[in-house]
Every structure is written in structure tokens, then in C-alpha cells.
């Protein structure tokens, strides 16, 4: 029974990621991935900043704040780079290719998420195979 539920979850994950990749296109997917990575790093830096402030480790707090400022600058630069590329992806000739490559990238994301789910379940002791 557990295998069927897992297969259904993986199937829905593939359909969701491929559909979203096709809708957004490859440029939109790349922007979403970069934004997600920067957000995760920001959350980690904020966590380290809070814990270093609690133990009064000012050097770690300073590094975390500088890291957050640098990430903000990198995010703005990426936004400046990808804004024209997103506008270019709406040209009719490029739009079809953009959408197909977005679907391929969505399928790749689904494969990575499925592998991650498999390793998490295996680590938790729920052997699937």
C-alpha cells in the first residue's frame, strides 16, 4: 500500500513540475531556482546570526550580516541580468523553445526531488525497494 502512495506522489510531482516548467519557461524556472537558493542561504545566515547574537559571538554575527548584504547585492544583479532575458523569452520564435526547455528542466527538478525523497525515506528506515 505504501508503494502505491509513493508512486502516486512521484507521478503527481512529475506532472506538477513539468506543467509548471512549461508554463514558466526555462528562464522563469532558472530565476525561481536561483531565488530559492538565495532564500535558503538567507534563512541559514539569519539562523546563524541569531544564534551568534545569543552567545555573543560578534565576529560570526558580523560575517552573517555582511553575507546577507552581499546576497542582497547578488540578487539585485541577477534580477538586472534576467529581466531582459525574460522579456526576450516572449518572442514567438523563442517562446516555444523556452517552454519546451522549461518542461525538460521541470522534469529534471522532479527527478532530483524524487531522489531526495527516496534518500530521506531510506534514511528514516522506510525501505521502498
pLDDT score, position 16: 93
pLDDT score, position 108: 93
Whether the Cβ atoms of residue 31 and residue 82 lie closer than 8 Å to each other: yes
What pLDDT tens digit does each residue of the chain (129 aa) get?
A: 777 888 898 899 999 999 999 998 888 888 888 888 888 899 999 998 888 888 888 888 889 899 999 998 988 898 888 888 777 777 777 888 888 999 999 999 999 988 888 888 888 887 776
Residue 125, CA distances (Å) to 37, 105, 129 in order? 28, 30, 12
Domain spans of the chain, in order of start: 20-123
Angle at 98 between CA 95 and CA 100, to 5 degrees: 110
Amino acid at each position: 500500500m505504501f508503494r502505491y502512495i509513493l508512486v502516486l506522489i512521484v507521478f503527481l510531482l512529475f506532472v506538477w513540475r513539468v506543467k509548471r516548467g512549461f508554463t514558466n519557461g526555462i528562464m522563469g524556472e532558472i530565476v525561481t531556482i536561483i531565488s530559492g537558493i538565495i532564500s535558503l542561504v538567507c534563512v541559514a545566515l539569519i539562523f546563524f546570526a541569531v544564534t551568534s547574537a545569543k552567545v555573543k559571538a560578534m565576529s560570526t554575527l558580523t560575517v552573517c550580516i555582511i553575507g546577507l548584504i552581499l546576497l542582497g547585492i547578488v540578487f539585485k544583479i541577477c534580477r538586472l541580468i534576467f529581466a531582459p532575458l525574460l522579456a526576450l523569452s516572449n518572442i514567438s520564435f523563442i517562446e516555444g523553445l523556452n517552454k519546451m526547455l522549461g518542461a525538460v528542466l521541470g522534469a529534471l527538478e522532479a527527478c532530483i526531488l524524487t531522489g531526495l525523497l527516496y534518500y530521506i525515506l531510506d534514511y528514516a528506515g522506510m525501505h521502498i525497494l
